[in-house]
Structure 1
Amino acid sequence: MAQVIAGILEGLEPFCSNSVRPCAWPLAANLPLYQRPQIVAAKSDVANYGAFGFQDTDWTRVGFTR
């Protein structure tokens, strides 16, 4: 993985200065490579709420059942 990141950073070399390059290493560790399992607890009368994964929560669709 370090070789892949190094290759990407070498490709960005004309656009980056040496002061920007060290800042890229902490960010590279936060790239999501796979979806992790997510466990969410909610009351039984809540609808459309749960583990959303990579998608954003559409709060207009979350609500309560009758």
Structure 2
Amino acid sequence: MSTWMQLLFLLCAGILIWFGVKFIRNNPGQFSKENIGKSFYTTGILTLGLIAFVALLVFLLKHN
């Protein structure tokens, strides 16, 4: 990888970190314990639904 590409990646990473810190400072309530708990619950339900859907598709493929 060239030096210019490495510098470009470092610049992009720095910009993303700066925007992330700025976002967190402006919205500290989004990372409260309650909101993170709700997000994990929703993600868990969606994951279980996706697993069930894939299992159903595999079952249908094996029995056709």
Give yes or no for TM over 0.5.
no
- Whose helix proportion is higher, 1 or 2? 2
Bigger Rg, which one? 2
Question: Under a length normalisation based on structure 1, what TM-score does the superposition of the two structures give?
Answer: 0.29
Relative contact order: is structure 1 or structure 2 higher (C-alpha 8 Å, sep ≥ 6)?
1
Q: Comparing both structures, which one devotes a greater share of its residues to strand?
A: 1
TM-score under structure 2 length normalisation: 0.30
